[in-house]
Amino acid sequence: MADDSVPIRDYVDRRFADQDRAVAAALAANEKRLDGLNESRQQRADEIQEYLRRNEYLAAQQAVNDRLDLMAKRQEEDRAVVLRIQGRFIGAAAALTVFVSAVTFLITRLTLAG
């Protein structure tokens, strides 16, 4: 039978070397993972810089609201003008109707009298 025995010193040295390689490989893998995480964090930070800030949104929204309020006010003013004009036309039409009726009445009276 062959003697496969290895001196303890060689065995321990080999085990330490194997462990050192395993630790080095784990550290390299961890570095790679951390580099990926740092890259993701940086990308996220860059994206966040592009987001609209709350105060910018509120200022823009207030400007839109102000314009909408102005448009609503102008629309109400225009509606009031249209209603005034309609009222004047209705009044003029009523006056014209009364005038035509009076003239028709007078013509009819003068025709019957004559």
Tokens 């630790």 correspond to 23
Q: Is 24 among the domain residues?
A: yes
Let me know if residue 62 belongs to a domain: no
Q: Mean pLDDT throughout 56-78?
A: 96
Residue 5, pLDDT > 60, answer yes
The domain in which residue 31 lies consists of 1-51
Q: What is the mean pLDDT of the chain?
A: 92
Q: For residue 9, tell me if it sits in a domain.
A: yes
| Residue 17 within a domain | yes
DSSP state of 51: S
Residue 70 has pLDDT above 80, yes or no: yes
Total domain count, the chain: 1
The string of pLDDT tens digits covering residues 73-82 is: 999 999 999 9
Residue 88: pLDDT above 80? yes
The CA-to-CA distance between both ends of the chain, in Å, stands at 162
Of residues 77 and 3, the one with the higher pLDDT is: 77
37 inside domain: yes
Instruction: Please give the Cα distance from 107 to 5 (Å, whole number).
Output: 146
Inside any domain, residue 99:
no
Place of tokens 């005038």: 99
Report the alpha-carbon distance of residue 103 to residue 109 in Å, rounded.
10
pTM equals: 0.47
Say how far apart CA 82 and CA 75 lie, in whole Å. Answer: 10
Res 114 pLDDT > 90: no
Residue 29 lies in a domain: yes
Average pLDDT over residues 50-68: 94
